[in-house]
A and B are shown apart, each in its own frame.
Chain A
Amino acid sequence: MISIKVFKINKPEFCLVKTNGMLTEQFIQGLIEETRKVLNQSEKLNAKDLNYLTWKSDTGSWSILECLEHLNLYGDYYLPEIRKAMQQSTAAPEKNVKPGWLGNYFAKSMLPKKKLNKMKTFKDKDPMNLHASLDKEVITIFIRQQYELIELLNEAKGTNLNRIRIKTSISPLLRLKLGDTFHFVINHIIRHMAQISRIEGEIKGMY
């Protein structure tokens, strides 16, 4: 009568690969669920000490804190942009998500592959260019940004994900649909959280 199944809470089951035509509500709930997993991973990191968090395999790679700082730099740009655009729009919500081809491409390209696929970092988003020593405040800010993201996703239920457009950090001329922007931002976070898991694996291998 009793069946005990152990399901792991951090399994990435919702990769949001095919979003075309998806119900808006389902799309947003999927993104919220992904953000919850990110929050849980960052709470675990918050319990680690600074040596662990700043460890790097070689001088050219990022530490855990540098990965998070990189995400914070993106959050600093995108979260206020999203909020502003949502406040300015009066377009009614639509039932289904219609990704744009570019936004969809950006979002998909962010997802981590089985084998490490290195990507270029824009100079202004590279934590190694900051020349500042990072401390655990980085995690506090990152967690606060995830709360803000959850808040924005909830508010987005009442907006039009297909009509509102967000200027990208690359160029104000390059604009993505709000839905694609959320998708891209969250897949980008997932990408670097996977990188952090890899770093943690390397640390484990050392001891």
Chain B
Amino acid sequence: MELSSVISGLPHSIITLERNEYLKVKGSTDTNIYFIENGSLRVFVLDDCEEQIIRFGYAGNIIVSLDSFLTERPSDFYIQAIKKCELKVITKRDFKLFLDTDKSHQSWWISVLEELVLQQMEREVDILTTSPKERYNRVLKRSPRLFQEIPNRYIANYLRMSPETLSRLKKS
């Protein structure tokens, strides 16, 4: 099952975010699933006034505050539009109804979650990798699209390096 076709078949509303607008801030509970029609977003936390980017989302992806979605409790994440975005909004309730209607929907959802677990493991290794060059190479190999869609200063933050180091690595 293709993610975009699944989403299109579900009841949804549409919202748009201008550049730099926030979908969510720290401390709110957001259990919705958002499918990105176009635009891009970033998920970050604030650590002592320092932003640390956790994840990006671009057209064709879904973006969820997964902790809120699962626990229905407030989450610490900020989600902000990098470019103007159009998002399809699916409520947790409607999504659950969809999953409960057919066994194949559930196994599809498990495969989506499995893919996410694998991505998270890759990301964990990224963060624990000491060499900036190695971190850069890993992410470049895994998601070349990131470098086409996201401004450098955000990629640098995601890779935990200065924008100068990133541009040096890109040249070499």
A residues near B, CB below 8 A? Answer: 1-7, 9, 28-29, 32-33, 35-36, 39-40, 43-44, 46-47, 147, 150-151, 153-154, 157
Contact = CB atoms under 8 A, between A and B. Distances in A.
Contacts of B160: none
A14 to B, nearest CB: 11
Contacts of A157: 27
A6 B14 contact: yes
Interface of B: 8-15, 17-22, 24-29, 46, 49, 74, 76
B14 A40 contact: no
A113 B15 CA distance: 28
Given A43-B18, A47-B19, A36 B12 contact: no
Contacts of B27: 28-29, 32, 150, 153-154, 157
Given A47-B19, A151-B46, A36 B13 contact: no
A4 B89 CA distance: 10
Nearest to B51: A147
28 contacts: A2-B9, A2-B10, A2-B11, A3-B12, A6-B13, A6-B14, A7-B15, A28-B27, A29-B27, A29-B28, A29-B74, A32-B25, A35-B25, A36-B22, A36-B24, A36-B28, A39-B22, A40-B17, A43-B18, A43-B20, A47-B18, A47-B19, A147-B46, A150-B25, A150-B27, A151-B26, A153-B27, A154-B26
Contacts of B49: 147
A2 B8 contact: yes
A150 B76 CA distance: 11
A43 B80 CA distance: 11
Given A2-B9, A3-B12, A36-B25, 15 more contacts: A2-B12, A4-B14, A9-B15, A32-B27, A36-B22, A36-B24, A43-B18, A43-B20, A46-B20, A47-B18, A47-B19, A147-B46, A150-B25, A150-B27, A154-B26
Contacts of A7: 13, 15
A28 B74 CA distance: 11
A43 B26 contact: no
Contacts of A36: 22, 24-25, 28
A147 B76 CA distance: 13
Contacts of A29: 27-29, 74
B11 A3 contact: yes
A1 B25 contact: no
Contacts of A39: 22, 25
A28 B26 CA distance: 11
